[in-house]
Amino acid sequence: MFEISETLKKIPPYLFVEIDKKKKNLIAKGEDIIDFGVGDPDLPTPSNIIEAMKKAVENPKFHRYPFGKGTKEFRKAIADFYKKNYDVDIDYENEICVLIGSKEGIAHFPLCFLNPGDISLIPEPGYPVYHIGTLIAGGQSYFLPLKKENNFLPQIEKIPEEIVKKAKILYLNYPNNPTGTFADYDFLKEAINFCKKNRIILIYDAAYSEIYFEKRPVNIFSINGAKDVVIEFNSLSKTYNMTGWRIGWACGNSFLISALAKIKENIDSGTFEAIQYAGLEALTGSQESVVKIREIYKRRRDFFASGLKELGFDFDLPAGTFYFWVKIENNSINFVDFLLENGKIVATPGVGFGPSGEGYVRFSLTIDEQKIKEAIIRMKKIWGK
pLDDT in tens, 140-149: 999 999 999 9
Spatial separation of the C-alpha atoms in residues 131 and 329, rounded to whole Å: 27
Between 32-41, 227-236, 300-309, the lowest mean confidence (pLDDT) is in 32-41
Q: Which helix (H) or strand (E) holds 204?
A: strand 201-205
Rounded Cα distance between 308 and 327, Å, is 11
For residue 50, with 0-12 CB atoms within 10 Å meaning exposed, 13-18 middle and 19 or more buried, which class applies?
Answer: middle
Predicted confidence (pLDDT) per residue in 91-106, tens digit: 999 999 999 999 999 9
Residue at 98 is within a domain = yes
- The overall average pLDDT reported for the chain is 95
The Cα 354–Cα 268 span in angstroms is 30
In total, how many domains does the chain have? Answer: 2
Around Cβ 187, how many Cβ atoms within 10 Å? 18
Contact (Cβ atoms closer than 8 angstroms) between residue 353 and residue 125: yes
Asked if pLDDT for residue 329 goes beyond 80, the answer is yes
Q: Strand 96-99 relative to strand 248-252: parallel, antiparallel, unpaired? A: antiparallel
Instruction: Please say which residue of 236, 265, 284 terminates a domain.
Output: 284
Q: Is residue 50 part of a domain?
A: no
Residues 257 and 161 in one domain: yes
Domain check: are 230 and 84 in the same one? yes
Instruction: Based on the fold, state whether residues 76 and 163 are members of the same structural domain.
Output: yes
Amino acid 14: pLDDT: 67
| Among candidate residues 176, 139, 190, the one with its CA nearest the CA of residue 322 | 176
Q: What is the CATH number of the domain that holds 311?
A: 3.90.1150.10
Nearest to 264 by CA among 124, 78, 70, 91: 70
Strand order in the sheet with 360-364: 314-315, 323-327, 360-364, 348-349
Sign for the CA dihedral angle at 364, 35, 49, 289 comes to: negative
Q: Are residues 116 and 35 in the same domain?
A: no
CA dist 47 and 62 (Å) reads 21
Q: Is residue 234 part of a domain?
A: yes
Residues 70 and 141 in one domain: yes
- Same domain? 306 vs 231: no
Is 52 part of a structural domain of the chain?
no
Q: Are residues 27 and 88 in the same domain?
A: no
Residues 140 and 227 in one domain: yes
Please name every residue paired with 231 in a beta bridge, in sequence order, or none if there are none. 203, 252
pLDDT band at 16 (very low <50, low <70, confident <90, very high): low
pLDDT, tens digit, 9 for 90 and up, residues 337-378 = 899 989 999 999 999 999 999 999 999 999 999 999 999 999
Instruction: Calculate the CA 287 to chain-centre distance.
Output: 21
> CA angle, corner 101, sides to 273 and 189, nearest 5?
120
Residue 58, domain member (yes or no): no
Q: Which helix (H) or strand (E) holds 251?
A: strand 248-252
Q: 339 phi and psi, to 5 degrees? A: -65, -40
Domain boundary among 268, 284, 300: 284
- For the stretch 148-162, pLDDT in tens is 999 999 999 999 999
Grade residue 29 by pLDDT with cuts at 50, 70 and 90. Answer: confident
Residue 1 included in any domain: no
Q: Which has the closest alpha carbon to 167: 125, 113, 221?
A: 113
Residue partners of 68: CB distance under 8 A and separation at least 6: 261, 270
CATH of the domain at 277: 3.40.640.10
91 and 200 both lie in a single domain: yes
Taken as a whole, the chain contains a residue count of 385
Same domain for 167 and 234: yes
Average pLDDT over residues 61-78: 95
Both 221 and 297 in one domain: the answer is no
Choose the final residue of a domain: 259, 284, 309.
Answer: 284
Question: Is residue 55 situated within a structural domain?
Answer: no
Same domain? For 102 and 40 the reply is no
Domain that holds residue 267: 63-284
Q: Tell me, rounded to whole angstroms, the distance of Cα 197 from its chain centroid.
A: 27
* Nearest C-alpha neighbor of 137 from the set 10, 265, 271: 10
Distances (CA, A) of 364 to 221, 297, 321: 28, 10, 9
Q: Is 56 a member of any domain?
A: no
